[in-house]
């Protein structure tokens, strides 16, 4: 019995000590502004939470006039994509840009209402489209469609709607060529005698374009600016368009600066009966040499490092328009009239190739 009483007394004493510490801690907490700090901290957390909830409305406000396009089923059996247009939109207000190297199509509409495409969906056939976006800026609206491949298109403007039907290049054109000015961007190519290969290649391509634009031949270009599409993109353009031929424009270089002349290389891995890569290379070397009244270094199969040429499954060849390392030939290569002659030689090779393909 005394043992039980002693145990109870011990527990009571321990409880008193604990109570005293808790009470003292509470007094200290209150006396040092603990309650006030606690309330202030609670209010700060609540304010932070409120601000966080308000942030999305600020982002939405800054993104006014742009966003993802909405697609609805609509006339699912049609072959056309239907794009509604703002009231009063005319044909002259619409520009279509085909950025085939990156598989994008832009529809630019002048005087488009900022939020028109946030409220009006696109309908019809969207099999060739992966997604779409709109952006209104500076009094115009740009619709951007990401495509599943390289396409051309037919358009109809009717009842304030724009209808677009995507077709393969071969459905649109009888004659198709791909012109590839080598290098570009950070890839400057060969540099010698104060010249950069990427610039020479592009300048010749620009002059060739002027000539081909006057014919019924559809020419696709891997670049018309100082950019550097990767080799796979260049190969894809040639193969997916099922072009009649692929022509790469490049310059040559040699450790021996006495070497000069015109040469060509071809895809020796892919045999095409009749008019193939070797025949195209020979034609290019002959026509360009004749046009510039220069020296021919002949033709040869492309080396392993010539990835694009070796991966293309249509007649494919590269024309080396001269040795940039040769002082005399470098002087000629930077002259506009000489570049014009090179472009004319390539043009004549294309025209003759179609004669041979008949």
Strand partners of residue 142: 108, 135
**Domain match, 182 and 324 both:** yes
- Mean of pLDDT values over 281-298: 97
Torsion of CA 281, 251, 326, 196, to 10 degrees: 170
Q: Specify which residues 333 forms β-bridges with.
A: none
Residue 66 CA: distances (Å) to CA of 62, 86, 89, 126, 143: 9, 16, 19, 20, 10
Give pTM, 2 decimals. Answer: 0.80
Q: Is residue 29 part of a domain?
A: no
- Residue 2 in domain: no
For residues 108 and 233, membership in a common domain is answered with no
What is the β-pairing status of strands 140-147 and 104-110? antiparallel
Say which DSSP state 150 is in. -
Residue 264: its pLDDT value, please?
97
Same domain, 183 and 107: no
| Domain-terminating residue out of 167, 201, 230 | 167
Show the domain range for 304.
172-357
Q: In this predicted structure, what is the pLDDT of residue 8?
A: 36
DSSP-based helix, strand, coil % in the chain, nearest 5: 40, 25, 30
Of 29-38, 66-75, 120-129, 321-330, the range with the lowest mean pLDDT is 29-38
Q: Please write the tens of the pLDDT for every residue from 172-203.
A: 999 999 999 999 999 999 999 999 999 999 99
User: What's the pLDDT band for 2 if we cut at 50, 70, 90?
Assistant: very low
The CATH number of the domain where 156 resides is what? 2.60.40
pLDDT at 28: 38
Average pLDDT in the chain = 85
DSSP, collapsed to helix, strand or coil, labels residue 98 as: strand
Instruction: Using the 3D structure, point to which of 167, 199, 217 is the last residue of a domain.
Output: 167
The total of structural domains in the chain comes to 2
Whole-angstrom distance, CA of residue 53 vs CA of residue 55: 6
CB environment 274-293: b (16+ within 10 A), e (fewer): ebbbbbbbbbbbbbbbbbbe
pLDDT tens-digit readout, 313-329: 999 999 999 999 999 99
The first and second tokens of residue 56, run together, are 């999305």
CATH of the domain at 252: 3.40.630.40
Strands 262-266 and 296-301: parallel
Residues 96, 136 within the same domain: yes
Contact by Cβ (8 Å): 65, 136: yes
Does residue 114 sit within a domain? yes
Tell me the average pLDDT across 266-286: 92
Q: Are residues 218 and 335 in the same domain?
A: yes
CA quadruple 269, 272, 273, 278: dihedral sign: negative
Pair (72, 157) in one structural domain:
yes
Shared-domain flag, residues 146 and 200: no
pLDDT at 76: 54
- Which pLDDT tens digit goes with each residue over 222-256? 999 999 999 999 999 999 999 999 999 999 999 99
61 within a domain of the structure (yes/no): no
Q: Which of 139, 167, 195 is the last residue of a domain?
A: 167
Residue 17 in domain: no
């Amino acid at each position: 019995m005394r043992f039980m009483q002693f145990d109870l007394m011990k527990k009571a004493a321990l409880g008193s000590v604990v109570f005293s510490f808790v009470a003292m801690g509470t007094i200290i907490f209150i006396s040092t502004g603990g309650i006030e700090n606690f309330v202030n901290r609670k209010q700060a957390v609540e304010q932070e939470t409120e601000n966080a909830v308000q942030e999305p409305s600020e982002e939405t406000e800054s993104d006014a006039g742009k966003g993802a396009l909405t697609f609805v089923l609509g006339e699912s059996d049609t072959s056309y994509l239907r794009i509604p247009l703002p009231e009063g939109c005319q044909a002259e207000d619409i520009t279509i840009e085909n950025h085939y190297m990156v598989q994008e199509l832009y529809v630019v509409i002048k005087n488009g209402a900022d939020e028109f495409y946030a409220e009006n969906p696109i309908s019809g056939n969207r099999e060739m489209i992966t997604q779409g976006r709109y952006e209104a800026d500076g009094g115009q609206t740009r619709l951007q469609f990401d495509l599943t491949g390289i396409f051309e298109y037919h358009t109809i403007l009717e009842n304030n709607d724009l209808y677009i039907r995507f077709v393969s290049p071969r459905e649109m054109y009888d004659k198709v060529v791909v012109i590839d000015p080598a290098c570009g961007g950070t890839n400057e190519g060969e540099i010698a005698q104060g010249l950069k290969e990427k610039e020479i290649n592009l300048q010749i391509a620009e002059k060739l374009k002027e000539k081909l634009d006057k014919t019924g031949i559809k020419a696709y270009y891997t670049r018309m600016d100082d950019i550097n599409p990767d080799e796979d993109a260049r190969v894809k353009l040639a193969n997916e368009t099922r072009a009649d031929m692929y022509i790469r424009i490049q310059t040559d270089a040699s450790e021996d600066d006495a070497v000069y002349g015109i040469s060509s290389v071809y895809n020796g891995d892919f045999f095409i009966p009749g008019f193939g890569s070797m025949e195209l290379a020979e034609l290019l070397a002959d026509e360009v040499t004749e046009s510039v009244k220069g020296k021919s270094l002949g033709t040869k199969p492309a080396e392993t490092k010539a990835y694009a040429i070796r991966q293309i499954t249509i007649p494919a060849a590269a024309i080396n328009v001269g040795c940039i390392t040769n002082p005399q030939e470098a002087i000629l290569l930077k002259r506009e009239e000489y570049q014009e002659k090179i472009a004319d030689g390539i043009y004549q090779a294309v025209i003759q190739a179609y004669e041979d393909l008949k």
